[in-house]
Amino acid sequence: MSVALIWIIIGIVLIVSELLLTSVIAVFLGIGAIVTGLLLHWEVIEQSATQFAVFGVVSLVLLVVARGHFKRWFMGYTADEDEAKPNFQRDIGARVKVIRDFNHGAGRVLLNGVQWDAFSEDELKSGDTAWVIANEGIQLTVAKQKPNAAAKSI
Query: pLDDT for 51-91, tens place per residue?
Result: 999 999 999 999 999 887 777 765 655 555 555 555 667 78
Question: What's the pLDDT band for 42 if we cut at 50, 70, 90?
Answer: very high
For the chain, the domains span 3-75, 88-145
Instruction: Assign domain 88-145 to its CATH architecture.
Output: Beta Barrel (2.40)
Query: Which pLDDT score, from 0 to 100, does residue 11 have?
Result: 93
Indicate the pTM of the whole model. 0.49
**pLDDT exceeding 70 applies to what percent of the chain?**
83
Is the CB of residue 45 less than 8 Å from the CB of residue 37? no
Give the residue-averaged pLDDT of 21-37: 89
Lowest-confidence range among 41-50, 51-60, 100-109, 131-140? 131-140
On whether the CB atoms of residues 117 and 100 are closer than 8 A, the answer is: no
Supply the pLDDT for residue 76.
Answer: 54
CA–CA dist 74, 78 (Å, integer): 12
SS3 4: helix
Closest CA to 11 of 44, 58, 48, 53: 58
